[in-house]
Chain A
Amino acid sequence: MNALEVHNLRKEFTRRDGRGKRRVAALKGVDFDIARGECVAILGPNGSGKSTLVRLLSTLLLPDGGTATVFGHDAFKDTRAVRRLVNRVSVEASFFKKMSAVENLSYAARFYGLRPHDTKDKIPEILTRVGFPADRRDEPMENLSRGMQQKVALARALLTAPILLLLDEPTTGLDPRSKQEVQEFIREVRAEHDATVLLCTHDLAEAETLADRVGILDDGELLCLEPADQLKRRYASATLEEAFFAASGHAFENGNGDGGDD
């Protein structure tokens, strides 16, 4: 059984602008599968539909068509089962800012059925593993740097032992050192927890380094999905950036940004 199967997934949003209301397609019939334990990177500029894909798979959106199954569970009908299997880390760390890292992790763990005695030792242990300093565990999140907050976000995801980890630009805005630490942690999670990873990013190097296969998502369409080397060979390109240009017909950072929900 595949970890994730996505077939003809479509999503549109209503946009209001100077021309009035109009429907804009964020995903235009996306198809792909991810095998258990695999790491797949979806590469795309802003507005290409990456976040819409992650939000659909996180059960936060309903599609306009198509299907998605997570370990055989329908992501839109069997949401309870899917939610137990999935967690995510997004570009924004998203915490109650006045609360500490430990407090944020504690209540979040309860939502996944982890009791206080389950998390008493586990939270400090996971925070140590992600390189979070012990003397700052009780400080409000608002006092922490972006890099530190993102480490807590990784700890939150790992705490619930997800078997499908959705990463939506997890290293965007981080300094090089924090970025490297987060990437190292993603490798570790894969190696030690047998987690399947869907990484949506616009960081070409990150996609190439971390993923078994790389997909190019442009304007809501998944143009290809294969190992990075194969992708470069197919488009006779030296880099992923050139491959993106060859596949989409425009430079990487020039996404049309019309997908609305990214």
Chain B
Amino acid sequence: MRTMNLALRHELVGLGGVIERNIYLVKRYIWWDVAFFLWTVANTLTIVFIAKGIPAMGGKIDVDQVTTILLVGAVIWAYLGIIFEILTETVAWERWEGTIEYTFMAPLSRPVHLLGMGLFAIGYGVVRAVLLFGVVAAFFSLHLPDANYVAAVVLLMIASISFIGIGMMTAVLPLISPEKGTQLGFVAQGVLLVVSGVYYPVSVLPGWMQAIATISPATYALRGCRAAILDGAGLTDLTTEIWALLAIGAVSVPLGLFIFRTGERYAKKHGKLKRSG
């Protein structure tokens, strides 16, 4: 029992270490973070301006509603991008800095290591997503009196479990292919969002894409967040989305861990677990 408690304590301290390291990195690269945030704001504005552009081209839409739909899509896209980026950095950044061997030979279990990266990604991603939403909503003077922001954030956190599971699967790619693995992670992110109705209803997609959309956590995150922000839906109204996200999370996290472990074993077998790849 005592040994188990000690092992658990070591794991928790290690988990804290992963988060601590990422906080140091944010602190040291703070101006890059500011620059990247400005780029995300510019990118989001480009997308959200489409809502203003449609009436200018003769289309008839509820501009505020479409603006919000596009804004929620862009914010969740950005959030998902942060989660994937941070998890992919589990390998890619460490390889670039040369610390990968020291981290992977430390007595920290891989699930806890990845969980630490995931928890940091959620915290950092939520702060960035909230800021992004606030800045762009203020820019367009969006008035959302019915919005249930608490429900939207809670739903995003629940969705994060699945996002982390999928992020673990993509994090292994730089381990297997040091040269192109990171870019393949972006492909996975793009595929996930194209089928999930990021800027349009899933119903406009071809049937086979709609089928894939049913297993994408982003589908439920987008639908739930839009319902919470546009219609003021509460958590009790979002039970379908919550259960779907929990079910996908229950599958994707163990699967992500299994894939990462398999990839790590492959890397150890083929000598890829090293700084230069």
A interface residues with partner B (beta carbon < 8 Å): 13-14, 52, 55, 58-62, 80, 83-84, 86, 88, 90, 92, 94-99, 103, 106-115, 140, 156, 260-261
Of all A-B residue pairs in the complex, the 3 with the closest CB atoms, nearest first, are A110-B17, A113-B10, A111-B106
Q: How far is the CB of B37 from chain A (nearest CB, A)?
A: 18
**Within 8 Å CB of A112, what residues of B?**
10, 14, 106-107
Q: How far is the CB of B117 from chain A (nearest CB, A)?
A: 13
**Within 8 Å CB of B24, what residues of A?**
96, 99, 103, 107
Interchain CA distance A62-B273 in the complex, whole Å: 11
**Within 8 Å CB of A62, what residues of B?**
265, 268-269
A83 in contact with B107 (CB, 8 Å): yes
9-residue interface stretch from B97-105, B214-222, B228-236: B97-105
**Within 8 Å CB of B29, what residues of A?**
98
B105 in contact with A59 (CB, 8 Å): yes
A83 in contact with B106 (CB, 8 Å): yes
B35 within 8 A of A: no
Interchain CA distance A115-B271 in the complex, whole Å: 32
Interface size on B, residues (CB 8 A): 33
11 further interface pairs, Cβ-Cβ under 8 Å (given A86-B105, A92-B98, A110-B20) = A58-B101, A61-B271, A80-B107, A95-B97, A95-B98, A98-B28, A99-B25, A106-B17, A107-B20, A113-B10, A114-B13
**Within 8 Å CB of A92, what residues of B?**
98, 275
B99 in contact with A96 (CB, 8 Å): yes
B273 in contact with A61 (CB, 8 Å): yes
B interface residues with partner A (beta carbon < 8 Å): 9-10, 13-14, 16-18, 20-21, 24-25, 28-29, 97-99, 101-109, 265, 268-271, 273-275
Kindly identify which residue among B9, B25, B103, B265 contacts A113, using a CB–CB cutoff of 8 Å. Answer: B9
**Within 8 Å CB of A106, what residues of B?**
17, 20
State the main secondary structure of chain B at its contact with A. Answer: helix
**Within 8 Å CB of A113, what residues of B?**
9-10, 13-14, 107
B17 in contact with A109 (CB, 8 Å): yes
B9 in contact with A94 (CB, 8 Å): no
Interchain CA distance A38-B213 in the complex, whole Å: 61
Q: How far is the CB of A116 from chain B (nearest CB, A)?
A: 8
Interchain CA distance A60-B271 in the complex, whole Å: 8
Kindly identify which residue among A90, A107, A110 contacts B101, using a CB–CB cutoff of 8 Å. Answer: A90
Kindly identify which residue among A60, A96, A261 contacts B105, using a CB–CB cutoff of 8 Å. Answer: A60
Interchain CA distance A3-B273 in the complex, whole Å: 25
Pick from B104, B271, B275 the residue with the most CB of A within 10 Å. Answer: B271
A108 in contact with B271 (CB, 8 Å): no
B101 in contact with A140 (CB, 8 Å): no
Interchain CA distance A53-B54 in the complex, whole Å: 65
- Chain A, Cβ-Cβ closest to B104: A60
Instruction: Jot down 14 A-B pairs with beta carbons below 8 A, ordered by A.
Output: A14-B270, A58-B105, A59-B268, A92-B98, A92-B275, A94-B99, A95-B98, A96-B25, A106-B17, A108-B106, A109-B17, A110-B16, A113-B10, A113-B14
